[in-house]
Structure 1
Amino acid sequence: MSDLVSPQGGSMYAHSSQVHRTLLRASPDTPHQARQIVRIWSALDLGLKSDLLEDVLLVVSELVTNSLKHAHFTPGREWVQLSIDTDPACVRVTVTDPGHPTEYPQRRLADSRGLSGLIAGGRGLQIVDHICNGAWDTSLTESHERIVQARIPIDPHT
């Protein structure tokens, strides 16, 4: 994984939360690398059950792909940060990117015309919204970095 910039290991918090974080160089292969890293984290110590792991991988892929589509990458700012935080209730997926100077984060779902095939793409956030039961949001930091956080319930019935 030559595009891996600086992985950081997980740490424990007082409330038994596990946090894993890595910084990836932005490239067309970044979503694949992010999924591979989450699989490794799960095998090492996250221990996500198969169905939950598949949901987490899908959310990771969609959010990282959106970062690649919408971030304004400039020299030295060609990165996407992925963070996974688990606790007894949910798995939190956080994706941070350099943001865009003229594009502000919006909680926007796909255009309904996509159902008829007139628009390619745009379904990713609908999938994220469904998996997370609507528990996702986006914001900007003071330095205009975009943060998207999705909370995937461990018990899908909650």
Structure 2
Amino acid sequence: MSDGGSLRPEPGQVVPAAYEGTWKFDAPALDSSVPQSRHAVRDLLVRRRVPIGDDLLQGVLLIVSELVTNAVRHAGVLSPEIGVELSVGAGWVRVAVRDQHPYRPKALQADDEETGGRGLLLVKAITSEAGGACDVQHTVDGGKVIWASLPLAGVTTPRMAPSAPGWPAWPRRAPS
């Protein structure tokens, strides 16, 4: 039966906000993919009207830049294409970058004279400061996914992005 075209949720049913969803895109492992990925994520968050403050938005965009840069620089030889995923739920935002290189990177302290090498430290710091989580997981095809999930400040829904089994959405190896 129709009530004029609107669907009403059942009592107790959680109805996702209009901005919730998951978006994926692939990009070549080229330097030009870094700003393109960052702009794509920013534009998507703005277009979907995600309730994200400017500080958190800048943090998410920096995370995207760092993760895509690492995939391009360190995995490009074995992974000519990388995957970027943005997921937004009621109260959280999650970014993930997938590549086909099996090496699982670790955040290392860089020498003060080094101009690089701090990307994962920066990702961990931004994520931690926001009260989120980040990790690296192997995929079933031998690659990896590096992800960061951050809470949307001011959004009152208590649901938080899953961070373990089942995430990331890309295939992953079973724990050994």
What is the TM-score with the length of structure 1 in the denominator?
Answer: 0.75
Equivalent-residue separation in structure 1 for 2:91 and 2:66 (angstroms): 22
Instruction: Kindly state the Cα deviation for residue 59 of structure 1 after the two structures are TM-superposed.
Output: 0.4
- Higher-helix-fraction structure: 1
| Residue in structure 2 matched with residue 50 of structure 1 by the alignment | 54
Equivalent-residue separation in structure 2 for 1:31 and 1:19 (angstroms): 20
2:31 pairs with 16, 28, 32, which one? Answer: 28
C-alpha RMSD of matched pairs (Å)? 2.1
| Residue in structure 1 matched with residue 133 of structure 2 by the alignment | 135
What is the TM-score with the length of structure 2 in the denominator?
Answer: 0.68
| Residue in structure 1 matched with residue 117 of structure 2 by the alignment | 122
1:38 pairs with 35, 38, 41, which one? Answer: 41
| Residue in structure 2 matched with residue 150 of structure 1 by the alignment | 148
1:146 partner letter? K
| Structure 2 unaligned blocks of 5 or more | 1-13, 155-176
Q: Deviation per CA, 1:9-67, whole angstroms, max 9, x where unpaired?
A: xxxxx762411111111211111110110122022104333222111100000000111
Q: What fraction of aligned residue pairs are identical, expressed as a percent?
A: 29
Q: How does 1:54-133 map to 2 (within 5 A)?
A: 54-74=58-78, 77-100=79-102, 104-106=103-105, 108-112=106-110, 114=111, 116-117=112-113, 119-133=114-128
Higher gyration radius (CA) = 2
Instruction: Kindly state the Cα deviation for residue 73 of structure 1 after the two structures are TM-superposed.
Output: 3.3
| Structure 1 unaligned blocks of 5 or more | 1-13
1:80 partner letter? I
Contact 1:98 1:145 in 2 (8 A): yes
Equivalent pairs counted in the alignment come to 134
Equivalent-residue separation in structure 2 for 1:29 and 1:79 (angstroms): 12
